[in-house]
């Protein structure tokens, strides 16, 4: 059974839809599954032409007759064209050792092997690398969120901060931090700051902005009428904050958290990429690329995506439980 969306919001005049839940499993899983299947289909199709040149070369070395038989002549063909002339080679494209594009089951196999069959302290274990990335992600996220909330409170309550900090917060997002991240890491490294903290800094930088924007919006979401009501009670600013603004901002806060945590993860991975880091998802992606092990890159890529999805899912669950407890969600 699916709950009727927004069923209870008819009575109030509140603009924000408190009851916007994605609680219906059947409704939300089916579209997602459809998209996943579509992507999988495209991927499976793409594997053939993407790998066909490599497969043909290898097959020829193994004594299979390939059309055309001159490697140079084959270069004139597109992947699709080559496949057209050599339909027998198609199965080989899915199990090629060093593919240009690995097939889904190869990636799944690599992930299974590096997640479940290796000791989690091993340098070959994706769990180990996952934790190396997750720790600075969480630390950076905490710093970014804390800073974001504080800034938002300042911006909402102080005209001076609204005029001075808010423009800078926006300008800060025009800096291509993904390009600057390596420099930041190198500069910090040269003054002896290494390991967890520089990566957390990038993660914090990327996550504070969505929190600031969301919280400013949330803290300002109470209507003029609700603010007037508090004025008739002669309530102080502090009382107004705890009684009205903060609870009213919670739905916005959770949305910000979900954007922020994924931004943090991206920040950490980017910070790992170019700096010779030896561990972490970013390092794995780079290592796989540099040493001709595409499976390693792809496995790390998917593990990172799954980690992000898990974190967002976690916050989704916390959000739902919290809002339901506060009576803001329909039963």
Partner 1 sequence: MVIKAKNLDLTFQTNDGPVHALKGVDLEINQGDFVSFIGPSGCGKTTFLRVMADLEQPTGGEITVNGVSPEEARRARAYGYVFQAAGLYQWRTIGGNIRLPLEIMGVPKAEHAERVAKVLELVELSGFERKFPWQLSGGMQQRASIARALSFDADLLLMDEPFGALDEIIRDTLNEQLLKLWARTEKTIAFVTHSIPEAVYLSTKIVVMSPRPGRITDVIESTLPKERPLEIRETPEFLAIAHRVREGLRAGHADG
Task: With contacts defined by CB under 8 A, name the span among 10-18, 78-86, 167-175, 255-263 that binds partner 1.
Answer: 10-18
- Cis peptide, bond prior to residue 68, ω within 30 of zero: yes
Task: With contacts defined by CB under 8 A, name the span among 114-122, 196-204, 235-243, 302-310 that binds partner 1.
Answer: 235-243
Tokens of 11: 């009575």
The residues, any chain, with a CB within 8 Å of residue 217's CB and separated by 6 or more, are 249, 252
Convert 109-137 to b/e letters by CB count within 10 Å (16 or more is b). ebbeebbeeeeeeeeebbbbbbebbbbbb
Candidate residues 5, 8, 138, 157; the one interacting with partner 1 per rule CB under 8 A? 8
Nearer to partner 1, 115 or 328 (CB): 328
Candidate residues 20, 226, 255, 293; the one interacting with partner 1 per rule CB under 8 A? 226
Query: Site for partner 1 (CB under 8 A): how many residues?
Result: 28
Nearer to partner 1, 6 or 195 (CB): 6
Q: Does 178 bind partner 1 (CB under 8 A)?
A: no
Backbone φ and ψ for 218, nearest 5 degrees, come out as -65, -45
Residues 268-327 that bind partner 1 (CB under 8 A): 326-327
Q: Does 46 bind partner 1 (CB under 8 A)?
A: no
The contact mask relative to partner 1 for 236-255 (x = CB under 8 A, - = no) is: ---x---xx--x--x-----
User: How far from chain centre, in Å, is Cα 233?
Assistant: 45
Angstrom CA distances, 191 to 32, 194, 198, 200, 269, stand at 47, 9, 11, 16, 22
- Applying CB under 8 A, the residues found at the interface with partner 1 are 8-9, 11-14, 18-19, 223, 225-226, 228-235, 239, 243-244, 247, 250, 326-328, 330
């Amino acid at each position: 059974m699916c709950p009727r969306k927004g069923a209870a919001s008819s009575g109030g005049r509140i603009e924000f839809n408190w009851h916007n839940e994605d609680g219906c499993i059947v409704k939300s899983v089916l579209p997602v599954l459809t998209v996943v299947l579509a992507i999988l289909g495209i991927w499976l199709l793409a594997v053939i032409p993407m790998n066909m040149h490599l497969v043909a070369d290898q097959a020829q070395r193994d004594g299979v007759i390939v059309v055309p038989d001159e490697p140079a002549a084959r270069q004139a063909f597109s992947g699709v064209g080559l496949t057209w002339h050599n339909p027998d080679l198609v199965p080989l494209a899915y199990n090629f050792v060093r593919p240009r594009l690995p097939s889904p089951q190869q990636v799944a196999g690599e992930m299974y092997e590096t997640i479940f069959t290796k000791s989690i302290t091993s340098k070959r274990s994706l769990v180990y690398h996952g934790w190396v990335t997750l720790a600075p992600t969480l630390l950076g996220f905490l710093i970014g969120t804390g800073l974001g909330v504080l800034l938002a409170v300042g911006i909402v309550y102080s005209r001076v901060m609204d005029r001075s900090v808010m423009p800078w917060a926006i300008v800060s997002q025009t800096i291509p931090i993904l390009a600057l991240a390596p420099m930041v890491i190198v500069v910090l490294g040269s003054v002896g700051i290494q390991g967890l903290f520089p990566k957390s800094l990038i993660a914090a930088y990327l996550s504070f902005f969505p929190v600031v924007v969301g919280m400013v919006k949330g803290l300002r979401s109470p209507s003029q009428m609700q603010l007037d009501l508090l004025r008739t009670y002669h309530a102080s600013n502090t009382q107004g904050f705890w009684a009205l603004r903060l609870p009213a901002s919670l739905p916005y806060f959770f949305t910000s958290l979900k954007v922020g945590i994924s931004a943090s993860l991206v920040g950490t991975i980017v910070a790992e990429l170019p700096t010779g880091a030896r561990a972490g998802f970013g390092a794995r992606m780079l290592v796989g690329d540099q040493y001709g092990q595409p499976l390693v890159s792809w496995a790390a890529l998917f593990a990172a995506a799954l980690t992000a999805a898990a974190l967002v899912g976690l916050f989704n669950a916390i959000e739902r439980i919290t809002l339901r407890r506060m009576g803001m969600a329909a039963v």
